[in-house]
Chain A
Amino acid sequence: MGSLLLLGVIVIWDTSRTELPNLKIAVSPNLFPYLIGYFLVILCVILAIQIIRGGTAVPEGLEAGDKIENSDYKTFAYVLISFISYLVLITRGGFVVASTVVFVGIAFSFGNRKFGRTLLIGLIFAAVTYFSFTRYLHVDLPAGILKGIL
């Protein structure tokens, strides 16, 4: 049931998205957004009909008929928070800090509890990436608060 409800949300999300192109004035560059918009709306309607008739989604890696387990939203949230922390930290803290935080955060989400070791590996990983990108590939990465050390 939960998955069905979520799928409904996706359908609505998709449809709300499709109505946006329709707001445009009808000139040539709007032809494609229109076509794609209507295409999406039609597809969503068909999908909704399919779901109502019992064709629920099959998550990747499972076969039709397999029992769909409840998603583990705690782990999911941890990973998502790690991603967002990168967003916040990259300009304020710099690349090495942000990467290390994400590394530790995700390793933690996936069940790693050896903080000291993970921190060390994450730090080495981030530092090596930082140096190889800035020195050898000439890609600029923010040094951030570690500017003096790096």
Chain B
Amino acid sequence: MNNVSSLMDGFVSALTFTNLGFGLLGTFLGTLVGVLPGIGPALAIALLLPITYTVAPSSALIMFAAIYYGAMYGGSTTSILLNTPGESGSVMTALEGNQMAKRGRAGAALATAAIGSFIAGSIATAILAFAAPEIANLAIKVGAADYVALMLVAFTTVGSLLGSSQIRGFISLAVGLVLGLVGADLQSGLTRLAFGNVSASEGIETVIVIVSIFALGEALYIASRFKDTGWTIISMKGKALMSREDWRRSWKPWLRGTAIGFPLGIIPAGGSEVPTFLSYSVEKKLSKYPGEFGKGAIEGVAGPEAANNANAAGALVPLLALGLPTSATAAVILVAFQTYQIEAGPMLFATNPDLIWTLIASLFIGNTLLLVMNLPLVRVWVQLLKIPRPYLFAGISCFALLGAYALNGSIFDLQVAIAIGIVGFLFRRFGMPITPLILGLILGPNLELQFRRALQISAGDYGTLIATPLSKILYISLILVLVAPTAIKLVKKSRVKTVK
């Protein structure tokens, strides 16, 4: 019951005027970036990372958590009303949600998305509050060699599950690892890949890479495919309310979505595409009205939206308990921890209990604020879409450049930012996923550190890497992840052949 009282303490400190203000600002900004296509939560938090230099850790983290949750809500609004998912987790929502809107049921679709997100978010955060400390307790016993295995598994799953091809995922990861190498080596002090440049020998700032790869890369990419197209907004009639029938059909998908989304958030399955897709197909199979799917079935909105939010909360478990991000947004939040010199991971609950419980409590608060704010304010959000796109991208780019420059006030950082922006463009143009790069950049140095630590303990014996039971299990699952997609393809091919 220790957790409960800690959580209560968390609520007390989260409910101060300042923290509540930051929470509110976060929910607002989060919904905003969720609504606006082209900016996701990872970019929004990355752009706001400069505030971590001056704002207290708890306030900043509360705001980031609120942005994280808020973006999930905002994304559903554009999916339903515009058929333009603001972030990847809302792609499934757009399928049924937009159909519902076209049939004049936009209100019900928005309501089931918001209420479903709220319920899923609350349940998932509650599980998080109890599971994360337990996992952290276990994780304290996890040694350096196990960490190496864990990180390799995270790399492999994120690299192979995201994007269209495994190989492109891994290339993205490798580029991230290379960027992580630049600068002085942590242990020996040897400078790597700096080519005699003094600024480069200090390493490439993670923040700059994230900001520029998302913001500048996106601006360049949109520019390269530039067409002066607006978007058609389906106007919403009536209020965002659900009928009794809608409730009856929504509550089971909400719960099923939560059950699918949360566990998939914990394991590094790479973002919200997989759980939302799974939830959608489950609802389609279980539905009593399969004929309605594709024409606006409410289950097809309720399930994926719940899965999306539960997944977001699930991703916080490995982040807080192991210091292991499983999505781009979680990776950016980890960077925020690092700027505060707080090491996310098993020790976090012991070293910074106040901070962590405040953060968890603020997740509950943020979730509630989002529900209260979102339904009545839907119209306001839709108005925001009328900001002309030239101004939108101009503003984003200015902020990104500001973020890159303000960090150290150095021109070198700006040069790096523009170069990375071009890399971001090339990645988008050639279908390479970006998340593996971010993960490689952030976890690469960490992996190297743990790897060397393990070998130091074992006095150079490489056998130590597979000595513990946990590492053995992890390496086996790693091989499975690598081989499974190819194996499935082969089986499918041979089946097609036999059918023919």
Q: Using a CB–CB distance below 8 Å, which chain A residues touch chain B?
A: 3, 6-7, 10, 14, 17-18, 20-21, 24, 27-30, 32-33, 36, 39-40, 43-44, 46-47, 50, 55, 57-61, 64, 69, 71-73, 75-76, 78-80, 82-84, 86-87, 90-91, 95, 98-99, 102-112, 118, 121-122, 125-126, 129, 133, 137-142
- A40 with B411, Cβ < 8 A, contacts A71-B225, A102-B394 known: no
Interface residues of B in 169-184 (CB under 8 A from A): 170-171, 174-175, 177-178, 181
Residue from B165, B395, B402 within 8 A of A133 (CB atoms): B402
Distance, CA A108 to CA B219, complexed state (A):
13
Residues of A within 8 A of B54 (CB): 137-139
Complex Cα gap A18–B193 (Å): 10
In Å, the complex CA distance between A58 and B391 comes to 28
* Min CB–CB distance B465 → chain A (angstroms): 13
Complex: A114 Cα to B225 Cα, angstroms? 22
**Shortest CB–CB separation between residue B461 and chain A, in angstroms?**
15
Residue B415 lies at the interface, judged by CB distance under 8 Å to chain A? yes
Q: Which of B165, B177, B401, B444 contacts A83 (CB 8 A)?
A: B401
Do the beta carbons of B171 and A57 come within 8 Å of each other? Answer: no
Interface of chain B, helix or strand or loop or mixed?
Answer: helix
Residue of B nearest to A111 (CB): B228
Of B222, B398, B401, most A-chain CB atoms within 10 Å: B398
Q: Residue on A with the closest CB to B396?
A: A106
B388 within 8 A of A: yes
**Cβ of A106 and Cβ of B428 under 8 Å apart?**
no
B53: chain A residues at CB < 8 Å are 137, 139
Distance (whole angstroms) from the CB of A65 to the closest CB of chain B:
12
* Residues in chain B near residue A50, CB distance under 8 A: 165, 167
Q: List residues of chain A with CB within 8 A of the CB of B391.
A: 107, 112, 118, 121
Contacts of A71 in B (CB 8 A): 224-225, 429
CB distance A129 to B422 under 8 Å? no
Contact between chains at A28 and B225 (CB < 8 Å) = no
Q: Is the CB of A112 within 8 A of B178?
A: no
A112 touches B398 (CB 8 A): no
B425 / chain A contacts, CB cutoff of 8 Å: 76
Interchain nearest-CB distance for A119 vs B (Å): 11
Q: Tell me the minimal C-beta distance from B246 to chain A in angstroms.
A: 32
26 contacts between A and B (CB under 8 A): A17-B178, A29-B190, A29-B192, A36-B444, A43-B167, A43-B170, A57-B429, A58-B164, A59-B225, A59-B429, A59-B431, A72-B223, A75-B223, A83-B421, A86-B414, A102-B394, A103-B395, A110-B222, A110-B223, A111-B390, A112-B391, A118-B391, A121-B391, A122-B394, A133-B406, A141-B405
Q: B223 near A79 (CB under 8 angstroms)?
A: yes
Minimal Cβ-Cβ distance residue in B for A72 = B226
What is the 8 Å Cβ interface bit string for chain B, positions 186-206, against chain A (1 contact, 0 not)?
Answer: 011010110000000000000
Give chain A residues whose Cβ lies under 8 Å from the Cβ of B397.
79, 82-83, 102-103, 106
Assess the A104–B394 pair: CB atoms within 8 A: yes
Contacting residues, chain A, for B389 (C-beta < 8 A): 110
Which partner residue on chain B sits nearest A80 by CB separation?
B220
Determine the chain A residues whose CB is within 8 A of the CB of B223 once the complex forms.
72, 75-76, 78-79, 109-110
Question: Across the interface, which residues of B come within 8 angstroms of A102, CB to CB?
Answer: 394, 397-398, 401
Question: B425-448 vs A: 1/0 string, CB under 8 Å?
Answer: 110111110000000000010001
Known contacts A72-B225, A111-B390; A90 and B411 CB within 8 A of each other: yes
B354 at the interface (CB under 8 A from A): no
**Minimal beta-carbon separation of B181 from chain A (angstroms):** 6
Would you call B12 an interface residue if the criterion is a C-beta within 8 Å of the partner chain's C-beta atoms? no
- Bound-state CA distance A28–B388 (Å) is 54
Nearest residue (CB) in A for B218 is: A60
The 10 tightest CB contacts between A and B, nearest first, are A112-B390, A110-B390, A57-B430, A107-B390, A106-B394, A75-B223, A71-B224, A75-B226, A29-B185, A60-B428
B251 part of interface (Cβ distance < 8 Å): no
CA distance A17 to B426 in the complex (A): 16
Residues of A within 8 A of B50 (CB): 133, 137, 139
Q: How far is the CB of B177 from chain A (nearest CB, A)?
A: 5
User: A61, A64, A80: which contacts B422 (Cβ < 8 A)?
Assistant: A80
CB distance from A140 to the nearest CB of B (A): 6
Contact of A29 among B165, B167, B187, B421 (CB under 8 A): B187
A41 to B28, CA, bound (A): 45
**B418→A83 contact, CB < 8 A:** yes
A99 B398 Cβ-Cβ under 8 A: yes
* B168 interface hit (Cβ, 8 Å): yes
* Additional 15 contacts, C-beta under 8 A, given A24-B192, A50-B167: A30-B192, A39-B177, A43-B167, A57-B168, A57-B429, A57-B431, A71-B224, A83-B401, A110-B222, A111-B390, A133-B402, A133-B406, A137-B51, A139-B406, A142-B409
B163 → A minimal CB distance (Å): 9
Are A64 and B429 touching (Cβ within 8 A)?
A: no
B147 interface residue (CB < 8 Å to A): no
Q: Are B174 and A43 touching (Cβ within 8 A)?
A: yes
Report the bound CA distance from A79 to B165 in whole Å.
Answer: 29
Nearest neighbor of B404 in chain A, beta-carbon distance: A86
